[in-house]
Structure 1
């Protein structure tokens, strides 16, 4: 299953599959290797207005083999913190994401 396309995961539709493909993530193995948070960061950076927290929930749930509504509350809370950090870094510009000098 690891070399299967991400579309084989439950709960990921063609839109999310397209976003992942644009980010260079085409297989389950590639998604597992970088993890749902990094995958979310990449697609959020490419399409900041289209990608929201539900995409992160869906990525996590797909890798767990469940629906995003069934994620444990503590997992959702951790994902919310990750998404907030990513969103704040994007709003802050390059200076908040990089150390220069």
Structure 2
């Protein structure tokens, strides 16, 4: 995982705790799902910048170099995750 730019030891450790231990695992689930896992584990410590860093790492660039349209999509994804977090768990049973 350390071969990805912008993924330092702290983020690497957090990803490992979230079950994402290899670059191929990160690529398979994508930046948004990785961010979702981290956000639910550490809601106050994981920010939008983490999502930018994950996406940028997968693209092989610095997060500041992400195109603005990509950042806008990531912001929308992060907002949806934040709203889901605030709503809390959802029952699968409508009769429960």
TM over 0.5: yes
For structure 2, the residue ranges without an aligned partner over 5 or more in a row are none
> 1:70 and 2:65 equivalent?
yes
1:93 Cα offset (Å): 0.9
Aligned length: 94
CA distance in 2, matches of 1:100, 1:56: 32
Q: Could you tell me which residue of structure 2 aligns to residue 58 of structure 1?
A: 53
For residues 1-101 of structure 1, the aligned pairs below 5 Å read: 6-95=1-90, 99-101=92-94
Q: Distance in 2 between matches of 1:87 and 1:99?
A: 20
Structure 1: segments with no counterpart, 5+ residues: 1-5
Regions of 4+ moved over 4 Å: none
